Amino acid sequence: MSDLISKTAAKLSAMLAAGEVSSVEVTQAFIDRTEAVEERVKAFNSCDKSWALAQAEASDKRRAAGQASGPLDGIPVALKDIIAVKDQPLTCSSRMLENFVSPYDAHVTELLKAQGAVLWGRLNMDEFAMGSSTENSAFQTSRNPWNLDCVPGGSSGGSAACVAALEAPLSIGSDTGGSIRQPAAFCGVVGMKPTYGLVSRFGLVAFASSLDQFGPFSRTVEDAAMLLQGIVGHDDRDSTSFKAEVPDYRAALTQKQGPWKIGVPSEYFAKGLDPEIKAAVEDAIKFYESEGCAIEEISLKMTEYALPVYYILATAEASSNLGRYDGIRYTHRAKNAEDAIDLYYKSRAEGFGPEVKRRIILGTYVLSSGYYDAYYLRAQKVRTLIREEFMQVFQNVDAILTPTTPTPSFKRGEKADPLSMYLNDIYTINVNLAGLPAISVPCGFTSSKLPIGLQLIGKPFAEADMLAMAHRYEQAHTWKDAVAAL
C-alpha cells in the first residue's frame, strides 16, 4: 500500500508545493488503492482513470511553470453521483438516469476545476438522495469499511466510504436531512453541511430544493476547511445563493481559541440513544468543559415535530422536482407504450425504485387539493417555529453539541421498515429545516469497533467558529488517525 494514501489532503498539498511528490504519483496511488479495495467497498459508480491522470499531468505542468492554482491543485476529489460534471455520467444511482451524461458543470465543479483539483470518480448514493443507508441505489449497496456487513449510511454513503477506505483524500456529498453527517458518523470521517445558501446548488440534481446543500467529506477538520474554502461563493444561477463574506477557514482553526459557550439539548439524549454513543458524546462534553468552555443544558422542544415536518416538506418538493422525469426527454423511456399517458406511467414505474416512488406518492398526497392546508402549509409554519427556536437558543450559546446519530451503523437489510430507517436521521434533520451549518466529527468506537460521531451545530454562516471548535476536539484525540483494516 502506497504511503501517500495515508496522508491527509493538507499534507499532500504541502508535499506537492514543496516538490516532494507529483500529482500524477498522488493520483495513481489513489487509483491503485481503489482498484485494490473497490470490489469490497463498492463506493464508486464509475471511475474515469485516464481523465484523472490527465488532470494530474496538467496540474504538474502548472506547478512546474510556477502557476499552481492553490492548495487543492493536484489533489484528488471524488464527487457524489448527483453533482454535474460535464461529459461525465450523472445517474443519481437511478435507472431513470442510468445512461445520462451531464452536458454542463455544477458551480462546485467549475470552482474545483479552476483550482486544479483532480476530479476522481462518481460516487454511489441512495437513489436521488432518498435514503439513509445507500441500500436504495439502483446499482449496488456500498459497504462500511469498518465492517463490510454494515451500511455506510446515506444518502452520501459512497462519499463517506471512499474517504474511510482511503480511495480518495476528499469527497463532496449533498445533505438534505443528514446525508453528509450521518454517513460520516457511520464511517468514522469528518462530514460537514454548510449554512443553506453558502454553497451554490447549481448543478445539484434536486431532491428537496429548500433543504439540499453540498458539503465536504474528509479525514480531518483541517481538510474539510480546505475543501469548504474551495467550494463556497456566490452564484447568480442559484437564487438562494447568499452573498456572504468568506473568511479563511483554515486560519480560523487556530486563530479562534474560545472558550465557547456550548448548548447541550436534553431532547437529544433521551430514549432511543445507544448507550455507547451517549457515553462517548458525554465524554466529549467533559472535554470541552475541561478546556474552559461553558456547558449549558438547553431545550429544543420542537425536535419532536422535526421528523413529520421534514417528511412532509421534503417529499412535497421531491414530487415536484421529479416530475421532469417522464420518459419523453432525456430519461429512461419504456418500450411498447400505447400512448403518451401510458409512456409516462411505464417509464416512471420502471425507472424509479421503491423508496423514490414512496416519497413521490407521499409528496403528491400532501400537496393535493383538500390536504395542502392540513399538511404542507401547517408543516411550513412548524418549520418556521423550529428555526425560531434555534435562533432563540443561539442568543445564549455559540454552538450546540449533540450525537450525530442515535445508533451506530447497522447491517444491510436490518431496517426493512421505512419508519425505522427515517428515525435514524432524528438528530440531523432539524439542522436542514433551520438552514444551519453542522459538522460530524469522529468521537470514538463502540465495543464492536464501529465509529461514533459527534455533531456540532453552528449559527448561520458561523462555519469558522464551528470548525475551530471541532478542530480543538479532534486535535486532542486520536480518532482521526484510525484507519479501517481492509
Residue 84 grid cell: 454535474
Domain coverage including residue 103: 3-258+439-481
pLDDT of residue 258: 85
Gap between the Cα atoms of 55 and 330, Å rounded:
29
Residue showing cell 447491517: 411
Please indicate, yes or no, if residue 276 is contained in any of the structural domains: no
Please indicate, yes or no, if residue 429 is contained in any of the structural domains: no
Give the closest residue to 197 by CA, choosing from 176, 213, 181. 213
H or E element in which residue 247 lies:
none
**Dihedral sign, CA of 13, 18, 21, 24?**
positive
The amino acid at 257: Q
Please indicate, yes or no, if residue 309 is contained in any of the structural domains: no
Please indicate, yes or no, if residue 160 is contained in any of the structural domains: yes
Phi-psi region of 16 (alpha: psi -120 to 50; beta: other; left: phi over 0): alpha
Kindly report whether the peptide bond that precedes residue 259 is cis, defined as omega within 30 degrees of 0: yes
Please indicate, yes or no, if residue 65 is contained in any of the structural domains: yes
Please indicate, yes or no, if residue 33 is contained in any of the structural domains: yes
Is the Cβ–Cβ distance between 83 and 108 less than 8 Å? Answer: yes
Gap between the Cα atoms of 327 and 345, Å rounded:
9
Is the Cβ–Cβ distance between 70 and 165 less than 8 Å? Answer: no
pLDDT of residue 73: 98
Give the closest residue to 314 by CA, choosing from 439, 137, 121, 130. 130
pLDDT of residue 52: 98
pLDDT of residue 176: 98
pLDDT of residue 1: 52
Rounded mean pLDDT for each run of 10 residues along the chain, 486 residues in total? 90 98 98 98 97 98 95 98 98 97 98 98 98 97 98 97 98 98 98 98 97 98 98 96 93 92 96 96 98 97 96 96 92 92 94 96 94 94 98 98 97 87 92 98 98 98 97 96 93
Catalogue the active-site residues.
80, 155, 179
Is the Cβ–Cβ distance between 239 and 24 less than 8 Å? Answer: no
- Which residues are within 8 A (CB) of 38 and not within 5 positions of it... i.e. 6 or more apart? 44, 47, 167
pLDDT of residue 424: 86
Please indicate, yes or no, if residue 61 is contained in any of the structural domains: yes
Is the Cβ–Cβ distance between 399 and 262 less than 8 Å? Answer: yes
**Dihedral sign, CA of 129, 130, 132, 137?**
negative
Please indicate, yes or no, if residue 250 is contained in any of the structural domains: yes
pTM over the 0.85 mark: yes
Number of domains in the chain: 1
85: domain CATH number is 3.90.1300.10
